[in-house]
Amino acid sequence: MTTPAVEFFNVTKTFDDLVAVNDVSLSLPRGKTLGLIGPNGAGKTTLLRILVTLARPDCGDVRINGHSAIRDPLMVRQMLGFMPAEFGSPRNLNIGEYLDYFGCLHGVSSKERPKRIREVCELTDLTGREQVMVKGLSTGNRQRLLLAKTLLHDPDLLVLDEPASGLDPRARTELREIVRTLASMGKTIIISSHILPDIEDFSDRISIMEAGRLVIDGGLNELRETHASTTRVVRIRVPEADWDRAKKLLGEPAEIESVRERDHFIELSTNAENVNFTLGILLEHDIRVLQFAEDEPSLEEIFMRTTAGKVT
């Protein structure tokens, strides 16, 4: 069996009384993309910082291509590129100088650097902007530059912490395309976000964290099947005169979760076996049911059901 690109073994990290990462184990094969999702404060950044050797866990181990990030941090750093959530780098340079500076820090030789800078600018769509000052960059271009910097030493593993944060819809789509290109080049990618649609369509695996724990970890299809086979989202339309009464009746039984209004429908979640029971309640109380439809939950809905926290 080939060694996975990334393995976490029972990793725990505390800050005083706070358990930021709680006994997390997971593994990612080479060439795959993992989407790490979780609400604010879930522990995503802490977990990624441990992976990229910027933080030490209290216990557990992390291995990259079989090498421990704790025992062998220098070797591990060569294998990965980390794009942090915050831009804390020197800004008084132009894009070309900035990339040259970080290329140098990453050990890319002065002979190799111009070629690598050209390649990463091409990949991140920064070609022709080498003279533009870093200081005045838009958020979109700043995120591209951070990503370009991450790619300079051509690492096999990319660790991207909320790369889409603060981007407008167009910039988000463009970033998604860049990540897709990198995945098709065979890179192993871990990408965190608290916005599920940003990553669900290109992640091979999804790990959901909440309060330091990994609450869901699996292949995307596997995840959908496990949850979709047991859960239904039911959309119901009733005459306006019966609307309040129907909502109240549906809100009472413990079998029905989260009754809400959406686009002139009453929408609720329930287990697959309770769908008929839901319809029965309305019929029993002589409420005319104009429309009744059941659906499998989207990944977003699975996420909301699995984590008690709020997605922002």
Ligand X SMILES: Nc1ncnc2c1ncn2[C@@H]1O[C@H](COP(=O)(O)OP(=O)(O)OP(=O)(O)O)[C@@H](O)[C@H]1O
Task: Provide the binding-site residues for ligand X, judged by CB under 6 A.
Answer: 15, 18, 20, 38, 40-46, 194
Question: Is residue 29 packed enough to be buried (19+ CB in 10 Å), middle (13-18) or exposed (0-12)?
Answer: middle
Residue 25 touches which member of Mg ion, ligand X, none, C-beta under 5-8 Å by kind: none
Backbone φ, ψ for residue 77 (5° rounding): -60, -30
Residue 103 touches which member of Mg ion, ligand X, none, C-beta under 5-8 Å by kind: none
Asked whether the beta carbons of 234 and 278 are under 8 A apart, the reply is: yes
Question: Please, which residues bridge with residue 147 across strands?
Answer: none
Residue 42 touches which member of ligand X, Mg ion, none, C-beta under 5-8 Å by kind: ligand X
Residue with smaller CB distance to ligand X, 120 or 164: 164
Taking CB under 5 A as the criterion, the residue among 34, 36, 43, 45 binding Mg ion is: 45
CB of residue 247 vs ligand X: minimum separation in angstroms?
A: 33
Backbone φ, ψ for residue 233 (5° rounding): -105, 125
Residue with smaller CB distance to ligand X, 19 or 281: 19
Tokens of 66: 């079989």
CB of residue 150 vs ligand X: minimum separation in angstroms?
A: 18
- 3-class DSSP state for residue 280? helix
CB of residue 164 vs ligand X: minimum separation in angstroms?
A: 12
Q: Using alpha carbons only, what angle is made at residue 276 by residues 270 and 281, rounded to the nearest 5 degrees?
A: 90
Residue with smaller CB distance to ligand X, 45 or 141: 45
Residue with smaller CB distance to ligand X, 38 or 103: 38
CA distance 95 to 134: 6
CA distance 117 to 163: 20
Residue with smaller CB distance to ligand X, 165 or 226: 165
Q: Which residues bind Mg ion (CB under 5 A)?
A: 44-45
